[in-house]
Structure 1
Amino acid sequence: MGNQGHPRVELALLVSWLIGSGHSAEQAEEWIAQLPGWTATDQQVLDDFASKNATKWAAKSRQNTECWVRDLAMRTGEWADHRTDGHQAAREPQRGGTLS
């Protein structure tokens, strides 16, 4: 049996791929909002996930110059900025809820 993430985690990770395919962060969320697993997730949990995921990929992009890493850092940052009204960098990550 393989390792599988919780469906909400998979949906959250899909946002950056939709952004990479040309959708805005808002459009990506509108598309995913059609799925019950997304709408059932607490908005604060999504905010925290987006922020932490963007922070992780920003750090990786400073250490790795491969294009895909930089692109993923940009896409996750765009989503985090959308979720936090552009205040992602100044935002202190909160402890608590998880997507799983």
Structure 2
Amino acid sequence: MAGRALLHCDLNPGNVLITPDGRAVVVDWALTSFGAPWVELGLLIPWLLRDGMAPTQAAEWLEQFPSWASAPDHHIDLFSRCLAEQWQIQEKRNPQAWVVELADLTSRWEQYLESRNQR
């Protein structure tokens, strides 16, 4: 997951504003970090699922990005396990509905990857 790409690390519907002329503006850069470019895409997964995509659809959407498509599967698997675990820990600390939902969504993604890997 290491890399030199600047990562926002908190892309969510509230941090991407659409201007009247249709441009996207990313705001609230408080959690920036550096890492592999595909990590930012991985952080979008719960939001893609929350917006109604099935895990298979999210996986197909992610594959259009070269950084995601070329990332080793075992790196994505590890990232996904860590992301799900992080949201499960947050859920225990802060059981608000939106945190519970993100914990569930990241767990669903992790389960999808596990079932895909078993094929």
TM-score by length of 1: 0.77
Give the aligned CA root-mean-square deviation in angstroms. 1.9
Q: Which whole-Å deviations, capped at 9, do the CAs of 1:56-92 have from their partners, x for residues lacking one?
A: 1112112212111111101110110111129xxxxxx
List gaps (5 residues or longer) in structure 2.
1-5, 7-28
TM-score by length of 2: 0.66
In our comparison, the structure showing a higher alpha carbon Rg is 2
Structure richer in strand, relative to its length: 2
Structure richer in helix, relative to its length: 1
List gaps (5 residues or longer) in structure 1.
87-100
2:100 is aligned with 1:70: yes
Runs of 4+ in 1 over 4 A off after TM superposition: none
Count of aligned pairs between the two proteins: 86
Q: Which has the bigger relative contact order, CA under 8 A and spacing at least 6? A: 1
Amino acid at match of 1:81: Q
CA distance in 1, matches of 2:97, 2:48: 17
Percent identical residues: 31
